[in-house]
Amino acid sequence: MPASELELMNGSSEIKKRLVVVVVSSTASGVFMLSLVLWFMVRKRKKRSSETENEDLEQQLFDLATTSSATNNFSDSNLIGNGGFEPIYKGTLATGQEIAVKRLSNNSGQGFQEFKNEVILIVKLQHHNFVRLLGYCVEEERMLIYQYMPNKSLDCFIFGLKLLAQKRGTT
């Protein structure tokens, strides 16, 4: 092979090597930059959503004095039922709005973070067919404050006749 062709091939292979290095390094840099941008976006979104959740939680915080006053100090005359073994009291806020206060058991072993997560989940599950959660109280004991709905609970209408028959001894 003539020397000029050999030099041309060596130069050509040198150009190919440089081209490969440039393409690979450019691609790697692009992937790295894209990953960095995505990481910052996800981090910012998480921070914003946790701030919003905390703001939502703060807006829905009831104090013990308000809930106690609304339910006449959790009077037995205001006891309207037991939801999941916890007592539920009817109350009226100073604004005239009727509420249902569910006092949660202190023996549940649930920590504040679990309670907070439960409240956030209930708030996110708001639907026009569900009773609306108005807020919560964590002062001395944990309580959930719901919109009051008259006419008893849905399970009375679904299971009411069966339960009545079982109590009478006729099934």
- Cα 85 to its chain centre, rounded Å, is 23
Torsional sign, CA 120, 153, 81, 168? negative
Give the pLDDT band (50/70/90) at residue 6: very low
CA-based nearest residue to 93, from 121, 63, 123, 129: 63
Assigned token pair, 66: 């308000």
Is residue 50 within 8 Å of residue 57, measured between CB atoms? no
Tell me which CATH code domain 64-168 carries: 3.30.200.20
d(CA 154, CA 131): 11
Between 85 and 29, name the one with better pLDDT.
29
Residue 88 neighbours by CB under 8 Å, 6+ apart = 79, 80, 81, 82, 100, 101, 102, 103
Domain layout of the chain by residue ranges: 1-59, 64-168
Largest CA distance in the chain: 112
Is residue 108 within 8 Å of residue 127, measured between CB atoms? no
Give the mean pLDDT of 80-97.
85
pTM for this model (two decimals): 0.56
Residue 99 neighbours by CB under 8 Å, 6+ apart = 70, 90, 91, 92, 93, 134, 145, 146, 147, 148
Q: Is the pLDDT of residue 27 over 90?
A: yes
